[in-house]
Structures are given as structure tokens and as C-alpha cells.
Amino acid sequence: MLDEKRLQILTESAKYDVSCSSSGSNRKNLGGLGNANLGGICHSFTSDGRCISLLKILMSNDCLYDCLYCVNRRTNDIERATATPDEICELVMGFYKRNYIEGLFLSSAVFSTPNQTMQKLFETVYKLRTVYNFHGYIHLKGIPNADKELIDEAAKYVDRMSFNIELPSEKSLKLLAPQKDKNGIIKPMTALQKEKFIRSENKKGKFIPAGQTTQMIVGATSETDGIILNLTSALYKNVGLKRVYYSSYVPTNFETSLLPYNQVSLLREHRLYQADWLLRFYGFTVDELCKKEENLAEEFDPKCAWALKNLGLFPLEVNSAPVELLIRVPGIGLKGAYKIREARKFTKLTFEDLKKMRIVLKRARHFITCSGKFFGEEKEGRIRKLLLQLEQNDNATQLSLFDKNEVILSTITGEF
Amino acid sequence: MLYYKIENSVDGILSAIFESFLKKEYPDNLVFGGFEVSIFDTLKEIKVDEERVKRVKSALNKYNQFALEKISYAFRYGEDIKLKIIFDFAYITIDKKKNLLKMFNNPIILAFNDIVDRISLERHRFLGFVRFIETDKGILYSHISPDHDISDLLFSHFKNRLNTPFIIHDTKRDKVVLFNGNDKQIVYTKKLPTLYLHENEEYFSELFKRYFDSVNIKERKNTKLQDRYMPRRYRKNLTEFKTKKPL
């Protein structure tokens, strides 16, 4: 049985993996313990406001690599621990039964060759499914440069797999993670996606039903938001990823001049998540939001910044504008646009109606008309000033940065 | 003010609907139990009448096939204001003769959808916020005190998932929902069971408290967000918020 001390070491080392989502799979309980819930379930929330859905743990934090940004790097003087496959299985069963968790997120430091490390991870999930008869959610981290056969074999038993991009360019990877290379990360992602496609064509049984995700560290290196979002967009389009996670660099290494000494602003990470959301659900392209050499505006959210650049497209009439355009109005989200579309079938909507429907109008009013009536400001300079004030009020405390915005909320809770 | 004093049930509300249409009057509020009114107000007692209930039900069904299902769901709401909100919704559906649930700018529909949404949000939250303890006999026991009457809505989720006998005890409503290995039972009792813990129980609960602590990133403290997702009133029954033993 795993003791408390080792649990602490192995989970503390795992917490910088941001992904906590348990969604995207509808695995059934085949007579043992557990099943998966398509929308995902959050079981608790820690005081950083993140959700606990999965038991996030490393098999070992005893790493041979020396990635400068990573807390588990070989040259870092921290306590090391390793757990056995059975210890992890017992822990998952005990936690799951008590409804503490939705499943397992298993990762590991590379404590031996990539293949031997991947083999141990595979052994654990294989045992959990076949010996312990566990059918809850499993997210397994892939080890870069492990053999394809080994990765494919593991993919048959888990719901989601992820290889972390870590840094947004090959140059940065070479600089900070010399033992890793782009190919070792992108190749298995692409191969997995291909394999998943072939298997689903031939109906060959479950194979990462919840797909793949990845994560990159923001602010440790010099890439612009434009570069990051282009990479993101390519990962969604070409590799078929379900989610890209961004994590603001938190300093864990003060011995190198290659990394910033201070924590990177959470606002930047926040803006990236907002832009990511617009790419996936609102039909925006990267070019509309951010040029390659630019960063996203800090003073406005990306949708607002886009609308200000395209004032000529507005105002839109809420009683007739198509939904694809309504969702581009600052302050009107997918839910708001849906409510408008349904309600206007009954009656012509007025400004008062929108208020009653709890559509937030402080931003939207400059971009819409209701039955021909306009309630916003005419002059661009004035609109800009008012929107800026709103954004500053919203950001007045770092805290409300998160609670004013549905976008970031959902990304953190992992319900998507 | 006109008050209808009804039986505190869906049928009570539906009987009131019949009365209201019959007398061409509209109550200002619906109450039940030993409610007293001032001398300026009128209190009208309305008995449940099965024939009338049936007629109201068939009218509702005609205009909105989901209305009755939604109404019995909304009745799980934890506050008495639900009586009037449900009454208004049922009345307007029959009066306008159509399904208005998506008329999002209508205050009556808004209020009704609101209480339905709150119940379903709480139900969803409790899929995560239930904590079981394992007894020496291997039975899983949990006590909860949700705002709304949702305990039996959790049953099929946990039955499919756990595949083993369990008990969910709503201590606010003295309601016990249990799975005996074959089917569902609902019992109302004020008695708290005496439980003997499984020998592993403390090991796992201590380990989970440790996990809850170590997975947190202190540099990113945001308790406001935590409070929003996991309101404090829910925490008293949660393992991870209980004091942990020192290492």
C-alpha cells in the first residue's frame, strides 16, 4: 500500500499538468467498478480554484531528463519516490469507490528508457482494467520516443492520452529540454490519431474514445501569442486534438538565466484560453484574432478587440441577425445567442427583453440594435474608453479576472 | 390579497389551477399548513380533487408534453416560493394554449426555468460532492444535505457506477435512498444508523486529504473561485475539508 509520504511526493510533482478533464468518454461499467460520464464530473475544488476530477499522480518522479522548467529535473534537489502498478491500482479503487475521484490521470518521469517507462505505465492501466475490473476514466500520459506498438497497446485501455508539447517551438525545446525533440512528441500524436481513425472505420473496439490533448508552458520562452495560437489551430485541425492547455510559467528553477525569475502574469494565460475558445466554438480564425508576430491585447478580451477593429460590421439587429454573427457580439455568448434565437420566434425583442433574459448588455449595447433602436455610443473613441473601463473594473482584483468570465471558468473546471 | 391555501403537493397546485380558471380569479400567492392572513386578505382553502387534477393534467399535456414532467421536477425546489412559480407556469401554459418554455423574455417562464436549472445544477454537482464511507460489511454510506430534494435523482448514476449496495442519506429531509443490490428503496427516518468502519476507511480518507492538499498550487491561490464552484454550505459533509492527522 502506498504511504502518505510517497503519495504526497508523487502527486505534488504531478500537479503542474493542468488538464483535469474527465469528459468525452461514455465507457460502460462491465460488471466491475466504474463508468465514464460524457460531460465529465468535478469532485472537489482546491483553493487555487481548480477542480479535482482525476487522481493525478506520477508513477515515479525520479527523472533522467533535465528539462530546465520542470520541477522533476534530474539536477533539482527534491525527494524522489516511485509507486508500483498495484499500489496505484489499489489507490484508484479505494478513492473511486468513495466517490473522491472520477478516475486516474497517470503520468511519469522518464526513470529508465522511454520504452521501459511506457511499459510500466501500460502495465498499470492494463492491470487496472483487467485484474481490478475498473471501468472509470483513465487519462494516460504518453512518453515521447516510446515505440508505437507500446503506445497503441496502451491506447486500447484508456480513455484519453496526451503528449505534452511543453514549449511552443522547437528552438525553445532544444534550449530548455535538450533530451526532448519535436518529433518525439508530434509524431506519436499524429500516429495515434491515424490509428484511432483506422480502428473506428473497422469498428475494432475502444481506442482513446476521449481523444488526445496537450499542454504548453506560456511565458517561459519568447514565442508570441500569434505563434502559439497558430500552433494550437494546427493541432486542432491537423492532429485532431480535443483540447490544448496553456500553463503560465511558475518558477521552479532559479539557477538558470534562461528562464524568467518571476511568475508570468495569469492574464496572458487567460487571454489565450479566451482566444482558444473563440477558435473552437465561435468560428473565429487565428488571423482574425492575432497576427503571427503579435500578442493578444491585454486591455480587452480577444472578442472585444476583434469587434473594435471591425466596427463597420456593426450594429447587428438582434431580431434578424443570424446566430453565427450574434455570437461575435462582445458580451453575447453561445447561450445568449441561443436564447435570443428562440425568444424572437415568439415576439420582437426589445432592449428590456434582453435585460430580462440576463444578456449582459454593458458591452453588447454598442454593437446591436433592438427593433431598430440603438442604445450604444456612436463614436469609436467613446466606445473604446467605456469598454476599457469595464475591463479594468472586471480585472480590478486578480480574482474576478476568473469569475466574471464564463470562458475561463469552463476551461478550468474541465467540464468540456 | 387573495391567498390559496393548498395541499403542499403537485396535485395541490393543479387543483388550485382549476379553481382559478373556474372562478376567473388569480391568487396573489399560494400557501399551505397553518398560514394566517391579516383581516384585509382573503384566504381560500382548496382541497385536492382528483377529477379536477386529471382535467388540468390533460390540458397541460395537450399544450406541452413535457410540462408535467418539468413541474414534478420543479417541485423538488427547496423553497416554498416554488408553489407560486409552478402555478404561474401551469396557468400561462393552459391560458395561452402553447408550449412557452423557450419564451425566454417572459418573467413567468424565466422564473420557472430558473428553479428547474438550479435543481439540475445541484444534482450535477452532487454527482461529484457525495462522499461514501465504507462500512465493515462493505456497504457504502453517504450523508448529504442538498438545498433541493435531489437524493433519489442520484440513484441510477451510482447504481450503474458502483454496482454494490449503497446508501445516500439526505439528513435535511430525513430521506434515505438505498440500493440493496437489486433495486431502489426510499425510506423516511429520523434515526441515524450506527456504522462500523471498514479497516481501510481511515487509510483512504487520510490519503485523500493529503492529496487534496498536495495537488493545490499555492502560487495561484483563488479562494473566490473555489467558493463559487463549491459553496461553503456543501463542505461540512466532505472528507477533504475535515481536519487531517499530522504525518
The residue ranges of every structural domain in chain B are 2-121, 130-198, 201-247
Q: Which residue of A has its CA nearest to B114?
A: A357
State ipTM.
0.94
Interface test with A, best of B98, B121, B198, B220 (most A CBs within 10 A): B220
Q: How far is A380 from chain B (nearest CA, A)?
A: 30
Mean pLDDT of all residues in A59-67: 95
Q: Choose among B104, B221, B225: nearest Cβ to A357.
A: B104
Q: Choose among A11, A99, A250: nearest Cβ to B131.
A: A99
Are B212 and A12 inside 8 Å of each other by CB?
A: no
Which tens digit of pLDDT belongs to each residue from A334-373?
999 999 999 999 999 999 999 999 998 999 999 999 999 9
Which tens digit of pLDDT belongs to each residue from A109-124?
999 999 999 999 999 9
Return residues 77-106 of B near A (CB < 8 Å): 100, 102-106
Average pLDDT over chain A, rounded to an integer: 90
Rounded Cα gap, residues B125 and B136, in angstroms: 28
Rounded Cα gap, residues A44 and A39, in angstroms: 16
DSSP class of residue A264 equals P
Q: What percent of chain A has pLDDT over 70?
A: 94
Residue B190 CB neighbours (<10 A)? 6
Q: What integer pLDDT is reported at residue B169 of this predicted model?
A: 96
Model confidence at B247, pLDDT cuts 50, 70, 90, reads: low
Q: How far is A382 from chain B (nearest CA, A)?
A: 30
Which tens digit of pLDDT belongs to each residue from B107-148?
999 999 999 999 999 999 999 999 999 999 999 999 999 999
Give the three cell numbers for residue A98.
468513495
Are B163 and A31 inside 8 Å of each other by CB?
A: yes
CA A156 to each of CA A192, A199, A205, B193: distance values in angstroms, whole numbers, following the listed order: 11, 10, 8, 43
Rounded Cα gap, residues B186 and B168, in angstroms: 10
**Contact status of B111 with chain A (Cβ, < 8 Å):** no
Interface test with B, best of A1, A4, A352 (most B CBs within 10 A): A4
Find chain B residues with C-beta within 8 A of A398's C-beta.
222
The residue ranges of every structural domain in chain A are 4-207, 302-410
Q: Which residue of A has its CA nearest to B227?
A: A49
Ordered strands of the A316-317 beta sheet: A316-317, A368-370, A373-374
**How is domain A4-207 classified at the architecture level of CATH?**
Alpha-Beta Barrel (3.20)
Find chain A residues with C-beta within 8 A of B129's C-beta.
43-44
Exposure on the CB side of residue A30, measured as CA atoms within 13 A: 9
Q: What is the pTM of this model?
A: 0.92
Which tens digit of pLDDT belongs to each residue from B230-246?
999 999 999 999 988 77
Ordered strands of the A137-141 beta sheet: A54-58, A103-107, A137-141, A160-162, A212-218, A243-248
